[in-house]
């Protein structure tokens, strides 16, 4: 739970105890525990690992916390001895928390703008998350059974739900410009290239100064400054890397009439969900001159090679097995995967960051639909 939320929200905050400060967070909590039980107050450290910063003891079914904060951030409460944790937004004001020891998922934190919005966001997206999990499980079974028609149908269903979530989140952040949750959603959109930089800038400029001044706000602002990275119309940066057999493979030697440079990893679930579409696309257009060069951000060779075999990826592959420090990913300024670059026969980038049906339609356009 902690890793999943911190991966999504990705922010740490240092804090100190205070009394009566203008930047004070006062937390008042209730919990169905006996006196003397402990509630751990946890933050993410600079390496995004859980760090216990305080222990709160239950008295008459209640606990409290007073801290001074420097900016809004995600904090966690964990019942001692329990693996699960409950997230809340640490920000100026009074936060009322209701914890249930056997069901942290229905626990609540309300009282400030961001916490009220966080509760609303979780309630309103619960049905989408449940749907995605169900479709994802069905898709895994379809892939195991090699039922390509069912897998394709499930992929389309999966993408449809993702599109619904995106539409909901865009509406959410446009209506909540003073909420810390909104800047976290926008930060994820920017990292995943889910919206254009122009749209991201418009949304960012609508946020309150309080939200823009957060660490997440400053991070987004820095990314909105134009960066030198491969763009459509430019030559794709040349690279070399080891293939699964340990031999050096260079991009220039593998260019086809159309080439897809695909950044992925065995541990990336969206990448694995996307792979059946790439397989069908390659089978459809290989004889027409389609080439694919996949660049993996894996750390271990066994996992990388096994994923290639399991997903039936019969084209060229390279990996330096350096995770996000992969030099090819850095060369292409890849900060989220899956990521794709489509090249013409001369190695010029003609499109990028297309997936699923959009990618298929583009390749059909370039090589002719069959």
Q: What is the mean pLDDT of residues 60-64?
A: 96
What's the burial of 334, exposed, middle or buried (CB within 10 Å: 0-12/13-18/19+)? buried
pTM score, whole prediction: 0.57
Check whether 345 has a pLDDT greater than 90: yes
Contact 185, 207 (CB under 8 A): no
Distance (Å, whole) CA 355 – CA 260: 11
- pLDDT tens per residue across span 83-116: 899 999 999 999 999 999 998 889 999 999 999 9
Check whether 289 has a pLDDT greater than 50: yes
Phi then psi dihedrals of residue 239, to 5 deg: -145, 160
Check whether 245 has a pLDDT greater than 50: yes
pLDDT score of 12: 31
pLDDT band at 8 (very low <50, low <70, confident <90, very high): very low
Distance (Å, whole) CA 40 – CA 43: 10
Residue ranges, comma separated, of all CATH 3.40.30.10 domains in the chain are: 240-367
2-109: what fold?
Immunoglobulin-like (2.60.40)
**Pair of tokens at residue 129:** 């998350």
240-367: what fold?
Glutaredoxin (3.40.30)
Residue ranges, comma separated, of all CATH 2.60.40.1120 domains in the chain are: 2-109
pLDDT band at 14 (very low <50, low <70, confident <90, very high): very low
Mean per-residue pLDDT over the chain, rounded: 88
Share of the chain above pLDDT 70, in %: 92
Q: What is the mean pLDDT of residues 48-56?
A: 90
pLDDT band at 4 (very low <50, low <70, confident <90, very high): very low
**Pair of tokens at residue 227:** 């960066």
Distance (Å, whole) CA 370 – CA 358: 16
pLDDT band at 278 (very low <50, low <70, confident <90, very high): very high
Check whether 22 has a pLDDT greater than 70: no
Check whether 165 has a pLDDT greater than 80: yes
Check whether 30 has a pLDDT greater than 70: yes
What percent helix, strand, coil does the chain show, rounded to 5?
A: 45, 25, 30
Radius of gyration of the chain, Cα coordinates, nearest whole angstrom: 23
Distance (Å, whole) CA 333 – CA 315: 23
Check whether 13 has a pLDDT greater than 60: no
Q: Which residue in 284, 295, 269 sits closest to 359, CA to CA?
A: 284
């Amino acid at each position: 739970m902690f890793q999943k939320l911190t991966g999504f929200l990705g922010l740490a905050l240092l804090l100190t105890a205070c009394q009566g400060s203008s930047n004070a967070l006062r937390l008042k909590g209730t919990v169905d525990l006996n006196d003397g039980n402990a509630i751990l107050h946890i933050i993410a450290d600079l390496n995004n690992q859980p760090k216990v910063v305080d222990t709160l003891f239950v008295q008459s079914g209640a606990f409290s916390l007073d801290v001074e904060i420097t900016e809004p951030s995600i904090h966690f409460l964990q019942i001692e001895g329990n693996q699960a944790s409950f997230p809340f937004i640490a920000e100026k004001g009074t936060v009322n928390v209701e914890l249930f020891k056997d069901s942290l998922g229905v626990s609540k934190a309300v009282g400030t703008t961001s916490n009220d919005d966080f509760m609303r966001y979780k309630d309103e997206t619960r049905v989408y998350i449940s749907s995605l999990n169900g479709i994802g499980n069905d898709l895994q079974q379809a892939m195991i059974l090699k039922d390509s028609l069912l897998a394709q149908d499930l992929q389309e269903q999966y993408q449809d739900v993702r599109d619904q979530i995106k539409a909901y989140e865009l509406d959410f952040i446009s209506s909540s410009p003073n909420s810390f949750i909104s800047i976290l959603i926008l930060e994820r959109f920017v990292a995943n290239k889910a919206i254009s930089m122009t749209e991201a800038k418009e949304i960012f400029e609508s946020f309150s100064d309080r939200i823009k001044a957060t660490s997440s706000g400053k991070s987004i602002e820095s990314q909105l400054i134009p960066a030198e990275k491969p763009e459509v119309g430019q030559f794709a940066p040349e690279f070399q890397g080891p293939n699964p057999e340990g031999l050096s493979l260079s991009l220039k030697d593998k260019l086809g009439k159309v080439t897809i440079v695909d950044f992925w990893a065995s541990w990336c679930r969206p990448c694995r969900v996307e792979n059946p579409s790439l397989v069908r696309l390659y089978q459809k257009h290989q004889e027409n001159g389609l080439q694919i060069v996949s660049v993996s951000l894996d750390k271990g060779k066994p996992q990388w090679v096994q994923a290639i075999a399991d997903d039936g990826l019969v084209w060229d592959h390279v990996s330096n097995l350096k995770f996000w420090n992969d030099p090819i990913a850095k060369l292409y300024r890849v900060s989220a995967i899956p990521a794709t670059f489509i090249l013409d026969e001369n190695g010029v980038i003609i499109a990028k960051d297309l997936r699923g049906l959009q990618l298929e339609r583009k390749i059909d356009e370039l090589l002719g639909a069959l």
